[in-house]
Amino acid sequence: MSETSNPSMRHVIAAMVTNEPGVLAQVAGMFAARGFNIDSLVVGRTENPELSRMTIVVNGDDALLEQVRKQLARLVPVVKVVDYQDVPYVERDLMLVQVSTVGEDGSPAGKRSQIIEIADLFRAKIVDVSHDRVMIELSGTEDKIEAFIDLIQPYGVVELARTGVIAMPRGQAAGSGKSLAVGSGRSRGKGKAAPKGPTIDPGSLPPG
């Protein structure tokens, strides 16, 4: 079972894309043009310097997921699309949050020990301490982070930043996700030349 509580409504999709300017804008523009709602979109480098991995979280039914996969595969920079529906996988979201430590009596550190205790329960890290606030680093599933936010909200969240979800299939399940591989640098239609760029064999890509 995956780490999502309702995989039929929340879908995590990975797209391998070529490293070239404007790829993120193309993907975001495709979602906006077709009315797809992006819950989270993260892009970062991979073990291959020619490729980046996009992890996209969308909410919708299976028909919406199929549309998203097909539309992504039609974009020229996209080399491979994999969704993790019905596949065991690990997902992580990283958060930095600054929480006020001011107590009810006005003491700048009145609630610091309580906040640190909650952070310890979630295996979070205290990465910065000042006279009236602490900065906490926490990674985990979205559910874990949302539960932590709910607990510290009453203390006073000063500032919060999250990276968004990244995901990877577990062990031998890595090759079992639904995938749609396409050749990099292909043409968009008849009579249109393919853009220049690295040609990557989708079959040589790692699973997931």
> Which segment of 5-14, 25-34, 47-56, 80-89 scores lowest on mean pLDDT?
5-14
**According to the CATH classification, is domain 10-88+170-204 in 3.20.20.150?**
no
Which sequence spans correspond to the domains of the chain?
10-88+170-204, 92-164
Domain with residues 92-164, CATH architecture: 2-Layer Sandwich (3.30)
Give the relative orientation of helices 142-152 and 112-121 as an angle to the nearest 10 degrees. 160
- The yes-or-no answer to whether 10-88+170-204 and 92-164 have a common fold is yes
Q: Measure the CA angle with vertex 195, ends 194 and 198; round to 5°.
A: 105
For the chain, the 3-state helix, strand and coil shares in percent, each to the nearest 5, are: 25, 35, 40
What's the token pair of residue 23? 């790829």
pLDDT level of residue 157 (50, 70, 90 thresholds): very high
pLDDT digits (tens, 9 = 90+) for 123-145: 999 999 999 999 999 999 999 99
Beta bridge partners of residue 57, listed in sequence order: 12, 40
| pLDDT over 90 at 171, yes or no | no
- The size of the chain, in residues, is 208
Strands of the sheet containing 89-100, edge to edge, are 125-129, 133-140, 89-100, 157-169
Query: What is residue 63's predicted lDDT score, i.e. its pLDDT?
Result: 83
**Cα 51 to chain center, whole Å?**
17
Task: Return the higher-pLDDT residue of 82 and 91.
Answer: 91
pTM of the model: 0.74
Average pLDDT (1-27) is: 76
Amino acid at 194: A
